[in-house]
Amino acid sequence: MTNSISPEARDFDTEEELQAHLGKLDEEARAEGLFAENVAATPKRGVEDVQRDIAAVREEIEQLRARLLVIRQQAETAVTSRLQWADASAHEQLGAYPWLKLAGAMSGTFLTVQAVKRLPLGSVVTAGLPLVIAAFSRRFDR
């Protein structure tokens, strides 16, 4: 049995309770005149009409697939052109082998930072501070 039953109907323990509930809903719909209006408003459809509708839906699906293919191709073109622009810009700014030069600069920066981290900066500052003060005092004395 599929789960096409309404959430209220899932609370029933037996098939008889479900059928009783559905019968009650049918009676209420008939009493309000909803059932008769829906039946009268719905025209009888033949197999040809249904097949025609299926063919129209299939045609729409094919049109949507074609549109999706065009959009996918446009997205690929946009990404490719953006990558080509970035590569050309890098070549313009850094010359030949720009990515290698960039990687070298990043590696050099990393190694410099690691070397500075290992320096005993306290003693370097202590040794250099009198030199800096002397340089400032010479400037201001003139």
Listed by start position, the domains of the chain span 1-42, 46-95, 96-142
Provide, rounded to the nearest whole percent, the portion of the chain with pLDDT above 90: 30
Q: What is the pLDDT of residue 3?
A: 43
Tokens read off for 63: 């049109």
Go through 35-44 and write b for each residue having 16 or more CB atoms within 10 A of its CB, e for each that does not: eeeeeeeeee
Q: What is the pLDDT of residues 59-105, one digit of tens each?
A: 999 999 999 999 999 999 999 999 999 888 888 887 888 888 889 99
Q: What is the pLDDT of residue 72?
A: 96
49 or 8, greater pLDDT: 49
**CA dist list (Å): 112 to 98, 107, 108, 119, 124:** 21, 9, 6, 11, 17
**CA dist list (Å): 124 to 4, 133, 138:** 80, 14, 22
Ramachandran bin of 95, using left for φ above 0, alpha for ψ from -120 to 50, beta for the remaining angles: left
Average pLDDT over the chain, rounded to whole?
82
Residue with tokens 């074609």: 66
